[in-house]
Structure 1
Amino acid sequence: MTSPMNREAAPQSVWLDTPHRYGRISRGFHWLMAALFAWQFTGALLYVAIGDTALTRLVGGSHFTLGFTLFVLVLLRGAWGLANLHRRPSHPGAPGRAAVAGHGLIYLLMILVPGLALLRQYGSGKPFAPYGLPLMPERDTKIAWMMLPADLFHYWLGFTLLAVVLGHAAMAFLHRRFWNEAVLTRMT
């Protein structure tokens, strides 16, 4: 017979991270964001490959709104990760430090890329209302210094993020194949 304390602890462990596996909330953030980033990257790659067409407008038409959504999600996911830091799977040794550095780079880029786009949007003076929520009203004047960083870096940092994410996914498979470490199962 299980005690009341054990019954209360069991459901919580499914949602929270443990030293052996990420919880449902962390996994939900991970895979939702992976799907949204895949859509963003598909739209960007289509635009680079075939230019402004009906297809790229269909796929890329949600780029601003999804970029904002991803910005909010990465902030929430980061806060959740910090709150669960002491529970998460460990990353020992030099490979672990490399994994932590790689994840840090991914988070930095996931904040910078949409953050720069939001700065440019505000500087443009154009209204921005994702999901009908009026976040940035229209203005008559532009603020050039706010637009410049995104004009220079959003595109390149976005494709840098794509390369780092592909490397991240490749490392999960390489860990399984060459080192017999099932790191991917922690997140599935």
Structure 2
Amino acid sequence: MLVAKPLLTPRERYDHATMFFHWVTAVLVIALFASAQIWSFLAKGTPLRHNLQALHISMGILLAVAIIGRLLWRLTQGRRLSHLPGVAGLAAKAGHALLYILLLAQIVLGFMFRWAQGEAFEFFGVFSVPSLMAPNPDWRHTLGGLHENVAWALIILAGLHACMALAHHYWFKDGVLVRMWPGR
């Protein structure tokens, strides 16, 4: 087993922007998933369900902005730290790529689902997002089902990602989790 160094140097850690985008993404994904699960237990038409859906939509827009920012940062300035050799390294890269693909798919599906419903949606009541497609009941059901399935795939893969980070921290003791953890 590898033993982690007590403190990592700045070169061995992710930069602050990468950490910020990572943790904002994690919090938003969990909050979005939780809000959808909670409102599924509430009666249709209730104010609480409506407010949760409005919050979900606003957080979804925030997630879209965060993912675009994260991708732009990663492609231009972000530090990519890879230390895993062989199959483990390939699995880590494939897992990260799949997380990005699912996040992007979920954002696109969320917007399309809302547009197919023919209802306006707002960002915390500050501005409305214009529709880019006509209401379509057939698409609404298809897109809603896809949006839900991708949400489950995303939450499962993110859970595996978190489990692997914990395994690296507690079992391999190689400092992988510490590199993404804010602070010293």
Going from structure 1 to structure 2, the CA distance change for 1:59 and 1:122 (only over 3 Å counts) comes to closer
Residue aligning to 1:34: 26
Change in CA separation of 1:118 and 1:23 when aligned onto 2, cut-off 3 Å: same
Q: Equivalents in 1 of 2:69, 2:63: separation in Å?
A: 10
> 1:4 corresponds to which residue?
none
In terms of mean alpha carbon deviation, does 128-137 or 34-43 score higher? 128-137
Match among 135, 148, 151 for residue 155 of structure 1: 148
What's the TM-score, normalizing by structure 2?
A: 0.78
**2: CA distance between counterparts of 1:38 and 1:59?**
14
2:95 alignment partner, one of 98, 102, 116? 102
Whether 1:43 aligns to 2:35 is yes
The residue number in structure 2 matching 1:111 is 104
Larger relative contact order (C-alpha < 8 A, sep ≥ 6)?
A: 2
Identity %: 28
Question: What's the CA shift for 1:69?
Answer: 1.1
Instruction: Supply the AA of the counterpart residue of 1:32.
Output: V
The 8 Å contact of residues 102 and 154 in structure 2, kept in 1 or not, is answered as yes
Q: For 1:135 and 1:56, locate their aligned partners in 2 and report how far apart those are by CA, in whole Å.
A: 20
Gaps of 5+ in 2: 1-8
Q: Please list every run of 5 or more consecutive structure 1 residues that lacks an aligned counterpart in the other structure.
A: 1-12
Deviation digits for residues 77-120 of structure 1 (CA, Å, limit 9, x no counterpart): 011111136x4212432111111111111111111112101012
Question: Is 1:135–2:129 an aligned residue pair?
Answer: yes
User: In the aligned structure 2, how far is the partner of 1:37 from the partner of 1:124?
Assistant: 22
Asked whether the 8 Å contact 1:39–1:59 carries over to 2, the reply is no
Q: Secondary structure at the match of 2:82?
A: coil
Pairing 1:170–2:163 present: yes
Deviations 1:39-70 (A, max 9, x none): 1122123234x334776556554001111110
Mapped pair 1:25 → 2:6: no
Does structure 1 retain, via aligned residues, the 8 Å contact 2:54–2:121? no
Do the aligned partners of 1:128 and 1:134 also contact (CA within 8 Å) in 2?
Answer: yes
Structure 2 Cα separation of the partners of residues 151 and 42 of structure 1: 16
- Structure 1 or 2, whichever has the larger Rg, is 1
More helix by share: 1
Number of residue pairs the alignment of both structures matches: 169
The answer to whether 1:88 aligns with 2:80 is: yes
Amino acid at match of 2:128: P
Q: Which one-letter code corresponds to 1:46 in the other structure?
A: I
Measured on the aligned residues, the alpha-carbon RMSD in Å equals 2.7
Question: For 2:130, what is the secondary structure of its paired residue?
Answer: coil
